[in-house]
């Protein structure tokens, strides 16, 4: 008798995966430190925010002290990363505004009363 072959399709067998929105994609190994502390720190300032602050301070210090020949390329690279980051942030803000306008336009056509209510709520905030 010929044994039956076993075929497992995705998500058809035993699948064990931690699906937790609070997990930062495992960038910090569990043994590297106190996970609760890391989570608390990141809730106050994300890794991107922390790196952004360090970059701003470092660039201002290098500009103030002067650029030595050996660090010129690294400084130029860091400055380029900062400029690219700012460009991405600006593009994302524009995309968010565009998406919000589209949604508000759709809401104005489908439910004008809801749009008025939302606009009043936001006007009251400022």
Per residue in 47-79, pLDDT (tens digit) is 888 999 999 998 888 888 876 766 778 888 888
Q: Which residues have a Cβ under 8 Å from the Cβ of 53 and sit 6 or more positions away?
A: 45
What single string gives the DSSP state of each residue in 23-85? Answer: --TT-S-GGGS-HHHHHHHHHHS-HHHHHHHHHHHHHHHHHHH---GGGHHHHHHHHHHHHHH
> At 91, is the pLDDT very low, low, confident or very high (cuts 50, 70, 90)?
very high
Would you state the pLDDT for residue 36? 72
Would you state the pLDDT for residue 27? 63
Which of 3-7, 39-43, 69-73, 74-78 has the highest average model confidence (pLDDT)?
74-78
Would you state the pLDDT for residue 98? 96
Helix pair angle (72-110, 112-125), 10° resolution: 130
pTM: 0.57
């Amino acid at each position: 008798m010929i044994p039956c072959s076993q075929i497992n399709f995705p998500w058809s067998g035993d699948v064990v995966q931690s699906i937790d929105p609070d997990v930062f994609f495992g960038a910090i190994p569990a043994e590297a430190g106190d996970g609760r502390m890391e989570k608390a720190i990141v809730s106050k300032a994300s890794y991107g925010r922390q790196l952004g602050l360090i970059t701003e301070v470092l660039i201002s210090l290098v500009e103030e002290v002067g650029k030595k020949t050996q660090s010129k390329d690294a400084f130029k690279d860091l400055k380029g990363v900062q400029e690219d980051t700012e460009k991405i942030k600006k593009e994302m803000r524009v995309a968010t505004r565009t998406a919000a306008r589209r949604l508000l336009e759709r809401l104005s056509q489908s439910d004008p009363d809801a749009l008025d209510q939302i606009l009043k709520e936001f006007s009251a905030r400022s």
